[in-house]
Structure 1
């Protein structure tokens, strides 16, 4: 604290004054206040070195006046560190109660976000728990001007040093820093760059927004100490500071696309560059789109140039924490200056997660390389992406993991014969020379072909999501275990391939079933072989922990046993039990039987995948039990709601947007299959009507009118409502015990929403 004793007027601020941009008010340096009031943000970004080690640091302070009823202010202090050599990224976010109240008010008034997600987030906030990594400041924040004096609850302090520079200290629970910031000592000129709302529009690239925030920026040098992941580094470096007024501090929730991206680079020829675009972001799957943008450049002698530019995102990476997909590189072109530049993140995982973003954003320290005026240039910078964080449809949101799942499946089941992969698949990785070219071709055709055919039409991939979310739920980074998503999906795929043979189903997900294309013998063999994908994956993600692998195998083998038991019940069917139920009017035995089948085929695998994630994360025994009970309920609720959705026609998010049908309306009813609505109807309909309804569809040859009438009767008698009530009760009873045992994080919020989705998958 001694470095933060009271200081007087810091004196001249020549190094901070900057060049005033469009709409800037006089004296908009770091010590000036915005005469208009409103949102305000101070932000700093640095490239730091300690010998050969490189670090990136971004930190900011924000306040929002009158954020909540009564005019109270909201404050946030946040920092993130990137360690290049260790490829590690992390930080802390600290907010005050005013910020929490502002987020709660925003979420409460939100009518765009899926209600299941909105309710889950409000539930977390109402419990007085703030989703990590956000933490509540221990004391009130103080923000004073002239001279600048910021105190974020004694966690972060920023003051003038009396000599034209700044002193900043962050004292977090897991990281921090202590830096002296000063104007460049090389006579460099302060730089200005584009602010968030001053970016180009699709209609007029290069045009500034009429509602632009006032923004000033300046170059700075830094020296001090950085603490991160148990290590301390004495660092020096260079970066920039910006101060923005009028910029939205919380994302819009009025249906607008609030996404934006920005690259800011310092080149080795002395030029500085900032390129910004709003909207027009890359597709959710990361497909790049070249979009009009605004570029602001500063020459070595301080001349400012603003010009139209194009910006294209590249190398998409999907966060397993938020399921946001970010381009981790970008190509920038500024024709006016003959500038072509590629900026590439040091490593993909540089996501900053905060409740104030209602998800996350990419703040990636990056290298740049390209040409300017035909000459090679290099540099360092920051590549930022704020995606469209609206979750209007929870199911579509979860389906974002499908791209990750497909990538991981491709690694295990490549499109072309690969000797190493096929040796693993055939269990000969210790003697790969035993497989010659012709054998490899046969293995690929018979073991890989049917699986790739089936996974070409991936469904929702929500089981893959569960496998990763169960790790994240306990505060553990799931990134090192990414291959597990393939094992989860291949378990499901193998069972589908075999089920289609046993059920004589000609179609799967709108495509010919694998046995139709490859033959029954090949399909059964390939489907069975897919069950062993987990063995290949565990050798990669848990190579040195035999005890943990054993526990995972035990859970997985239990899942396989349950799945085969469920299929046995499915093959036997429930017709005889339904016959007896409608004759006696007693549905209890029938309901138990149908629930048993659903539990064995759907709930047990979902529970097992979640338990594997919990084992990997090192969950305590009471956490492990609570998680198992919850995902038991989620799996059973999902299958019950699947039965309900069958009556209405089942759809799923389509690859190119929109939705596509995966089942015809009342397909199970048409086939004479006993589902939960039929079983519940026995006790809800008059006995005679229950018998008539059942026998009208029992033999699987009813016409459209008969099936439609039966479906309507199930809705009208309350059978559908009974199913929905049962499913909701299952997840509600088991969620609270788990919620109270795990950290409050973005993942735990989404797990609450997952249960609500499983119980009530609303008709699209």
Structure 2
């Protein structure tokens, strides 16, 4: 290939390449700086490892305005044979301080998340999985010589780079020698860098040394890639809201088997559509540089249960001017880096590529980095991301079409061979479709998140337990289907209630059968531990019993108690009844889901109980706020910008149900106003105007405010003992925000 051909404009000879000898030097006044390496390493036989590591520095104003220096190092090792990745990240107190300062001033973040994050970072230690560097970082200013707390070091030895790391679960000692001259990197190449960052890359390194995973150290050699990015001015990736999350970024760095290397990147800014277009820099086998436009289009999305981030794991890369077309696929999807640096995560995945260049077949390997826009500007919208994962898991258990294996499992049979195929259509229509109709409607699925968050809180990956999402949602939705029948509700989650479509008999049977999906899932995910299995089943069945007891109280209603309360002017007895019903019907199942996750994770009894207490408070607070929201109706975005009603305005009040605002009003409204208000709605026959007037009175008298304060106090009171038992982590921050959301869902 002749790179001097006129159609390959933008070429530059390697004589104009950046000089790493000068460029590698740390800049004391730079806002952000990253030394990033990646390598494919081969050991004996088919032993292969994908390694990535990065040393970072940040400088910016802390919470008090004084300049703060921050240092972080991270690394990860991916094994394509097992489909597993292990990694560590180590931060100093400066990173925590800059992150706290950024969170405090970022008014675009949902206040519930911002408050929880600032509260956690005020402790001065990085949230898990990040670890605190044991000693201050040392940085030589006249040469590349970094020592990050004795955990990891990077220095220059002639033209080579010497990198070492010794962490809690592994480490490495490598020599990386440049095999090609440096290239300028595309503007958007470093996903972790702030806007305006500059830098260069060494696209091919010869690598040799040792890698240790656990107690085993093994000799390796292979090829690598190095990038040095830097940003000047005030701020940096952790120093302010605009710099902290400027855009979603994607980079692909590849070494091709025809001797070419390329770095392609694109930035997707909020409110803009670049159509997948970006920039690429390529290096020819002779070391010449080619800068060209590139098109990057992603597919095959994978959602991390831990962070709720979604990443495309397959990409089409097109460089029309070079006749280059590549299909890029990750070794396996689960290569997410979780750290406060990306709060909560970034995909850094080793990939394979194949396609054609100038009409000739070509293959390659490299790394894909995807940093989504991680800012949580609306907690409800963020937590609802779990819904798509939950629905995918439900479809495995309740498939779109009759599948003998799935129907056999739902029937309690050992396998598809035991299932009578003549029953498939009827069983699917009457057992599966009513529940699919109910779960496919608009909903938030936050209860499903509770199950997997509980696992993560105690250091257990939730990825192998995705099916728990389905079991939790089917339990909850089954209760809703029954509830709608008993309440004669016609609308649920923005669509006709299941019993109005499939009939009451099929709806009752389908909803009740959904409770037993938990058993189907547990048989798959629980370890072979009879004692643990017994406790998990006991916890689940206790939640079921409580839910049915609460439903019984709900069916009986509280009208007689409300009559007595209004007559005596004493709200306390009816408030106690309503609270008890809410605790049984709503809070106890949420508690059970959380405790199941904690038990599977191996938490001790004290922590299981504290987590259960907290989520019981969250469930009760959610139901109290649900009573408040009923006064104005519930709408959910349809995805096209419009809002769809999922619950009619003052539906409970219109039906004459006693809710928390109505019960609180007994103590807040004068008797001469409370009696007629109750008489108006008591029989469930009030017209629209009367219901609207009653709802307004409940707002005006302070009943709504009393409910909000009670819900907040419930959550805050239960949080403190749990907080003292939990290590600070991303999931601890998010469940704290979930509690605040449950107590006051003002954005709903």
TM-score normalized by the length of structure 1: 0.91
CA contact (8 A) 1:112 1:254 kept: no
1:337–1:281 distance in 2 versus 1, CA, 3 Å = farther
C-alpha deviation, 1:755, in angstroms: 0.6
Which of residues 158, 167, 170 in structure 2 aligns to 1:172? Answer: 167
- Look up the match of 1:47: 40
Matched, 1:528 2:512: yes
* CA-to-aligned-CA distance 1:525-553 (integer Å, 9 cap, x gap): 11111111111111111252333222211
C-alpha deviation, 1:192, in angstroms: 4.2
* CA-to-aligned-CA distance 1:55-101 (integer Å, 9 cap, x gap): 11111112123443333322111212212222221222222222221
C-alpha deviation, 1:230, in angstroms: 4.0
Pairs aligned (count): 727
Matched, 1:194 2:186: yes
C-alpha deviation, 1:599, in angstroms: 0.9
Matched, 1:353 2:345: no
- Look up the match of 1:101: 97
* CA-to-aligned-CA distance 1:80-139 (integer Å, 9 cap, x gap): 221222222122222222222111111111100000000101111112332012222222
Alignment of 1:740-755 (within 5 A): 740-755=724-739
Matched, 1:470 2:459: no
Distance, in Å, in 2 between the alignment partners of 1:273 and 1:231 is: 34
Q: Which moved more, 1:380-389 or 1:691-700?
A: 691-700
Which of residues 468, 471, 488 in structure 2 aligns to 1:504? Answer: 488
Task: Indicate the SS of the match to 1:558.
Answer: helix
Distance, in Å, in 1 between the alignment partners of 2:584 and 2:67 is: 55
Task: Indicate the SS of the match to 2:282.
Answer: strand
- Look up the match of 2:402: 417
Q: Which moved more, 1:62-71 or 1:672-681?
A: 62-71
Which of residues 210, 222, 225 in structure 2 aligns to 1:240? Answer: 225
Distance, in Å, in 1 between the alignment partners of 2:299 and 2:118 is: 35
Distance, in Å, in 2 between the alignment partners of 1:79 and 1:725 is: 45
Matched, 1:621 2:598: no
Matched, 1:250 2:272: no
Task: Indicate the SS of the match to 2:241.
Answer: coil
1:344–1:598 distance in 2 versus 1, CA, 3 Å = same
CA contact (8 A) 2:29 2:59 kept: no
* CA-to-aligned-CA distance 1:20-54 (integer Å, 9 cap, x gap): 56xx6x66655435597432211111111112121
Matched, 1:364 2:349: yes
Which of residues 692, 706, 716 in structure 1 aligns to 2:700? Answer: 716
RMSD: 2.4
1:417–1:594 distance in 2 versus 1, CA, 3 Å = same
CA contact (8 A) 2:277 2:295 kept: yes
- Look up the match of 1:202: none
Task: Indicate the SS of the match to 1:356.
Answer: coil
Matched, 1:631 2:615: yes
- Look up the match of 1:380: 365
* CA-to-aligned-CA distance 1:435-482 (integer Å, 9 cap, x gap): 333211111111111111111114100011111101111111011111
- Look up the match of 1:759: 743
Task: Indicate the SS of the match to 1:330.
Answer: strand
Q: What stretches of structure 1 of length at least 5 have no aligned partner?
A: 1-16, 200-208
CA contact (8 A) 2:255 2:261 kept: yes
- Look up the match of 1:14: none
- Look up the match of 2:138: 142
- Look up the match of 2:4: none
Distance, in Å, in 1 between the alignment partners of 2:563 and 2:615 is: 32
TM-score normalized by the length of structure 2: 0.93
Distance, in Å, in 2 between the alignment partners of 1:55 and 1:197 is: 23
- Look up the match of 1:539: 523
Matched, 1:389 2:374: yes
Task: Indicate the SS of the match to 1:72.
Answer: strand
C-alpha deviation, 1:358, in angstroms: 2.2
- Look up the match of 1:295: 280
* CA-to-aligned-CA distance 1:154-177 (integer Å, 9 cap, x gap): 11111222x421221112122211
CA contact (8 A) 1:310 1:333 kept: yes
* CA-to-aligned-CA distance 1:475-523 (integer Å, 9 cap, x gap): 1101111111000011012112222222222222221222222121111
Which of residues 267, 271, 279 in structure 2 aligns to 1:278? Answer: 267
C-alpha deviation, 1:657, in angstroms: 5.1
Task: Indicate the SS of the match to 1:762.
Answer: coil
- Look up the match of 2:10: none
- Look up the match of 2:719: 735
- Look up the match of 1:13: none
Alignment of 1:546-561 (within 5 A): 546-561=530-545
C-alpha deviation, 1:640, in angstroms: 0.3
Which of residues 419, 444, 458 in structure 2 aligns to 1:435? Answer: 419
Q: What stretches of structure 2 of length at least 5 have no aligned partner?
A: 1-12
Distance, in Å, in 2 between the alignment partners of 1:282 and 1:605 is: 40
